[in-house]
Amino acid sequence: MSDPRRGGTAGVTVVRVALLALLATAPGSAAQERNVRDVPIPHDVGQSISPSFEGWFENVDGTFTLSWGYFNRNYEERPDIPIGPSNQFSPGPADRGQPTHFLTRRHTGIFTTVVPADFGDQTLSWTIIRGGAAISIPGHLRPEWMIDAMMEAPSRNTPPVVRFDPAGERGQGPTGVRADVRAAFPTATLTVWATDDMVRKMREQQRERDAGAEAPAARFGIAWSKYRGPGTVTFAEPEPTTDATGQAITTATFSEPGRYVLRLLAWDDTGPPAFVMAVGFQCCWTNGYLTIDVQ
């Protein structure tokens, strides 16, 4: 073989390979056209929805809680998929409290299911059929899927506390709290009390110490969305602010009477769940579920 430094055969081969690689990526090349065709094209409607298993954590009574979310691949469509063959759990009851209304894109830890202490190596699967695809995801108790849902260990940050009555039951974490009310069609007043420990993420604290910067206030917010129901729901303020007592008030307008479930998401300095997807880290937010009979 000739020395490539002298322009021999090997040197020519190297040049040819480099030239072919350049041509393959040049605008208008056949290779580039194939690559473009292989890239998924964003769609506003008609795409599939993937259920997501986020992980599990142990309860004080020895049972286990499985956390679930989903990824709606549509950028605009928010489909309603009733409980049944196209939106079901198995084995056992098809209805495990999952949503029937799906917001766009990724939503993490939006509901939980509880399995018994002797669940062992069994699985519980959530199946969604949409956009020509049937996608089923199993939930399980594999050790590597254990999550910290009630505390961010480095900072000891905990999820916000949510109540639908100032003296009523409190909810904290992805399992959250539930309440039932009635409302006269077409508008209901939504009142919630949400508070937080206002502990900041450890990595943000360290970053500010290293930079010698003054630490800003911890973040905290709430957001309403439709979770189940026959019609559309319009919120006057989907993300109302809380006052000094933690109270936040807004209104919801319903397109038709019926039984609805609205989800309240209370998130803190770890960020909204859409930005918290790492397995093993699922803190800190709280779900609230308000069932409303609109008559």
- The residue extents of the domains of the chain are 4-38, 49-145, 161-294
**What does the pLDDT look like over 119-170, one tens digit per residue?**
999 999 999 999 999 999 999 999 999 998 998 877 888 999 999 999 999 9
- Judge residue 285's burial from the number of C-beta atoms within 10 Å of its C-beta, 0-12 exposed, 13-18 middle, 19 or more buried: buried
Confidence of residue 8 (pLDDT cuts 50, 70, 90): very low
**Residue 153: per-residue pLDDT:** 79
**What does the pLDDT look like over 196-210, one tens digit per residue?**
999 876 555 556 566
Going by C-beta distance under 8 Å and a sequence separation of 6 or more, which residues neighbour residue 262?
Answer: 190, 224, 225, 226, 227, 233, 252, 289, 290, 292
Confidence of residue 6 (pLDDT cuts 50, 70, 90): very low
**Residue 160: per-residue pLDDT:** 96
Helix, strand and coil content of the chain, in percent to the nearest 5, comes to 15, 40, 45
Pairwise CA distance, residues 291 & 295, whole Å = 13
pTM of the model: 0.81
Fold for the domain defined by 161-294: Immunoglobulin-like (2.60.40)
Kindly report the backbone phi and psi dihedral angles of residue 64, in degrees, each rounded to the nearest multiple of 5, phi listed first: -130, 145
Q: Which residue has the tokens 């506390």?
A: 161
* Average pLDDT of span 76-94: 97
Whether omega before 186 lies within 30 degrees of 0, making that bond cis, reads yes
Confidence of residue 14 (pLDDT cuts 50, 70, 90): very low
**What does the pLDDT look like over 218-238, one tens digit per residue?**
789 999 999 999 999 999 999
